Amino acid sequence: MTRQRERRAVLSGSVFEERIGCARAVVDGDQVYVSGTTGFDYATMTISDDVVEQAEQCLRNIGAALAEAGCTFADVVRVRYLLPAREDFEPCWPVLHRHFAEVRPAATMLECGLADPRMRIEIEVDARRGPVAGALRIETVDGERALEQWRDVHNAIVPPAALSLDDVRERAARYRLDNAYLGDVLVGCSTVRPPATAEDGTAHAATVIARVLPAYRGRSIGTALYERGMAHARVLGAEVVDTVVLAVNTEGLRFAQARGFTEVERYVLPGESAEWVDLRRAADDR
């Protein structure tokens, strides 16, 4: 059966979206189209008089829309700059360079009137969601900020097992915890629990769990986290590897099964209603 292509709108809360009948961005499959975005702070619907500050706010607004669409500035393939006064463009170059110098999207600048005389620059971008390749950064959790970020992803993916920061600190002392980022955007996390030896001295089993925020799935991030976790489990001497997934997380189950994990057990913990699934595979089964 052919998978239906995703199409959804991303809204920012701007009054213009409601009045005009548009979205801040539209996700259509792997394509993301961000509307012309101006320097309004949508929370207060205020705008600076300074064109450079407007450019900064434009890009903050665009960055928020891209994040909700599961993208970052690294995914931008085209950008269009619209300004009523072309002499205002060059002062904005340092701001634009900071966001796009490494990406190098196709770009166009147009001199034209904008909808409100207070607007001095408008920016729109097109992006494409695909495998992240070299754009992904995975780091072992170190420091309070990284602990908080790991907890944020964990609790978003498995709310029935939500952890406090103290819980995460305790886990970090015993397990390998990693965070995954696209640029500075947090997109996932992982856990590697060291091998546990059975009473008879056999079945050295480690646990590897990869978690990716829903908006960023389907971009090979889970695979990168999983492969890094499996490599560490082998270094630790694991003979078999376990993972655990919420039963309602059908994407997670498919991900595990596609990588050779076989279901071992389903259960509900005492006092809870969520069903969990334990799965297992050999550590050296590539």
The helix (H) or strand (E) run that includes residue 16 is helix 15-20
Report the distance separating Cα 179 and Cα 102, nearest Å: 23
**Per-residue pLDDT tens over the stretch 88-113:** 999 999 999 999 998 899 999 999 99
Q: How many CA atoms lie within 13 A of 48 on its CB side?
A: 11
Q: What SS3 state is found at 108?
A: strand
Contact 39, 54 (CB under 8 A): yes
Q: What SS3 state is found at 202?
A: coil
Other beta carbons less than 10 A from residue 134's beta carbon: 6
Q: Which two tokens stand for residue 15?
A: 């009054």
**Per-residue pLDDT tens over the stretch 120-142:** 999 999 999 887 766 789 999 99
**Per-residue pLDDT tens over the stretch 190-222:** 999 998 766 655 557 899 999 999 889 888 999
Report the distance separating Cα 271 and Cα 140, nearest Å: 33
Q: What is the pLDDT of residue 1?
A: 38
Report the distance separating Cα 254 and Cα 233, nearest Å: 21
Q: What is the pLDDT of residue 5?
A: 67
Contact 24, 37 (CB under 8 A): yes
Question: 57 vs 9, 70, 176, CA distance in Å?
Answer: 21, 20, 38
Burial 93-110 (b: 16+ CB within 10 A, else e): eebbeebbeebebeeeee
Contact 132, 220 (CB under 8 A): yes
User: Of the candidates 186, 195, 264, 187, which has an alpha carbon nearest to the alpha carbon of residue 235?
Assistant: 195
Q: Per-residue confidence of the chain (286 residues) as pLDDT tens digits?
A: 344 567 888 888 788 888 889 999 999 988 999 999 999 998 888 999 999 999 999 999 999 999 888 888 989 999 999 999 999 999 999 999 999 998 899 999 999 999 999 999 999 999 998 877 667 899 999 999 999 999 999 999 999 999 999 999 999 999 999 999 987 889 999 999 998 766 655 557 899 999 999 889 888 999 999 999 999 999 998 989 999 999 999 999 999 999 999 999 999 999 889 999 999 998 876 5
Q: What SS3 state is found at 258?
A: helix
Contact 72, 183 (CB under 8 A): yes
